[in-house]
Chains A and B, each alone.
Chain A
């Protein structure tokens, strides 16, 4: 029983930890399926975290913070589009510029507004999202198996966790079952085919980027107004890159990207578990080594295990009509 509870809590934290990765990976799928590289998931997540925390603090309502984060991230996506779609700039350079800008901007603005470099004031419970206990979770707790799954694993998460996992089938449905999705995929594979079908290539890429902005905002808000009660500097901690790796590992497909996100989330949850624990044979593993596990896993997976990841054909290439 003790072991089952441990396991349940490990799964529970895997779900929570994977959430920002899932949002970011879904955001990445929209951008990259349309042919626009998005390394700026990291920066946008950080910006969303900052804006959500500040908005929630000023207006006293985390939903307003979330809304502001969405507006901010969509604007950043449009900026990326303006540089790399309209003006055909290098997409990676544009992303790197956005990331660097945001690391500096969030730290500086926090210092200017709150007097502390890279920190926003702690949010009260009214100003942040709280864990949701699903109905009957308490009464079902004692039921074998079902109680464990329902009350210990599924119940008691922040709203973002539920939204995150609901977003996956929705993204799948939009990308593969709607005409909009067909056009997004086509524009990332062969923009000329889309152009000659009388559809505006640039408009399609902007639309995909807008959705990308909305999704990534949720990831940031989750970090600063749900699992934490404030923003601190570089709090996205590489999750944007990790999500990008998960998306590639998942071959730009929502279902497999989700599995990759959960795998990364699981190793992270496991490393938290393992810190300071005496293991048989090896003894206690240094914290630094354990913390490196998810990142090492990323490198290993991408370097060999996945096989050749086939990217959308036109990714990274600005669309230029002949001549």
Chain B
């Protein structure tokens, strides 16, 4: 019987009325990679923030190597040998790697001997774990994958024995994920313990030896990874059986309805982000646009939906030129011509989060009948309509009067989708449709997009989730550094190949 290196007993934590963690019991054995899987909002991150000392539990105990510890701040957990790699990296962007790592553990007031020693120690650690990090480089010059390594190195330097990684692969290319997994395995071989928090079933199956499932703040299951499979885990996460593969027939392609010609777009800082991009979409087709965040997809999507200026190039909608440098159609006119847009950042651009749900459900169409007459909103009609749509799209809770920010991410997304899809657009631009959305809702949203396609809509899907692009698209474009670097028919492509394109190496 191995004794657990980390043991949680009866952890409870509430934020206001919401109980984020309920009676959590968890044992993590030394030298293992232990997965914690659950949907967004299942309480995984909260639990790990408690273990890392960022939040204080309302009740319960935490023991490391059999000894109970009191965690008042991250300092206490670091001293107990716990390290955490957060989802959003905890790095100061304009500091060097070295400065970021010694921060808080300088050991001297005036930099000198201790800093030299730290440098040497860090070089040795880099060699041992093949991290290949230049200590003098500034964080903002590093790729996301390297920033993550810096975080791992930081924990190593602080003497961590237990590494908690919160959704570590969300921002990585497949190649970077491979590299990360290599590092994690070598950490394990050195006897370190790793806790992997994720909502991705593949990662659990690939990497972990044990897995705990969380749902609605509770641990609902615990098993050896070898004794389970993806379907079983998904069922435990959601609480019902889930279709992991989409039912999708082959696309019935129609005419070209949307065409982009030599489009160039600059961002707010006047940097060219989209470089001479051309493509077309046929009706009845989903065109997937894959790429690592920040390679111009955002600017492209904004330009196509009429909210960002076009530097040069043309956009055609049903052979009609709708946009060039001089003549830019605004989002409203595009909408009238049958183009709908589900923005990438739903809270910033898709919704007015302080509005009530029914207001957001018709926003943008609010001046049309039956929602308004003679410029006066007809609230009762809107609410009746809203109830119907919320039913149809399974928005929970079904309260049109509720303030939108009180809905979960998945339900907010459904509100936007129902608004944009209900007008039966001919062309649909969708950005990150399932970012921060849980599995059950993802299934629903994906099915809706397929239905739209089958009804003859042309869909441009921009997503950083490669799995999503692969499972939905009929044809895939890969964007790197503002250019389209590859076009593939979905049936003939592997995720490895796309990954190489996304990294700009193929």
Contacts and interface: CB of A to CB of B under 8 A. Distances in A.
Contacts of B104: 183, 194, 197-199
Interface in B94-136: 94-95, 99-100, 102-111
Contacts of A189: 92-95
A185 B92 contact: yes
B78 interface: yes
Given A178-B110, A198-B78, A323-B15, A192 B90 contact: yes
A322 B74 CA distance: 15
Contact of B103 (A197, A200, A323): A197
A61 interface: no
A193 B90 contact: yes
B222 interface: no
A273 B454 CA distance: 81
Interface residues of B, number: 32
A200 B74 CA distance: 10
Given A178-B109, A183-B104, A190-B90, A196 B15 contact: no
A195 interface: yes
Interface string B62-93: 00000000000111101000001010101111
B503 to A, nearest CB: 27
Contacts of B74: 195-198
Contacts of B107: 179
Contacts of A136: none
A195 B84 CA distance: 12
Interface in A150-185: 177-180, 182-183, 185
Contacts of B110: 177-179
A196 B90 contact: yes
B52 A196 contact: yes
Q: Which of A186, A190, A198, A200 has the most CB of B within 10 A?
A: A198
A194 B103 contact: yes
A180 B55 contact: no
A196 B84 contact: yes
Given A178-B109, A321-B55, A323-B15, A193 B100 contact: yes
Contacts of A192: 86, 88, 90
Counting chain A CB atoms within 10 Å of each CB, the highest count among B53, B94, B104 belongs to: B104
A76 B252 CA distance: 72
B492 to A, nearest CB: 43
A291 interface: no
A176 to B, nearest CB: 9
Given A192-B90, A197-B104, 7 more contacts: A178-B111, A189-B93, A197-B74, A197-B78, A198-B75, A198-B76, A199-B75
Among all A-B residue pairs, the 5 with the closest Cβ atoms: A198-B75, A197-B104, A179-B106, A193-B90, A198-B74
22 contacts: A177-B110, A179-B106, A182-B99, A182-B102, A182-B111, A185-B95, A186-B92, A186-B95, A186-B103, A189-B93, A190-B91, A192-B88, A193-B91, A195-B54, A195-B90, A196-B52, A197-B74, A198-B74, A198-B75, A198-B76, A200-B73, A323-B15
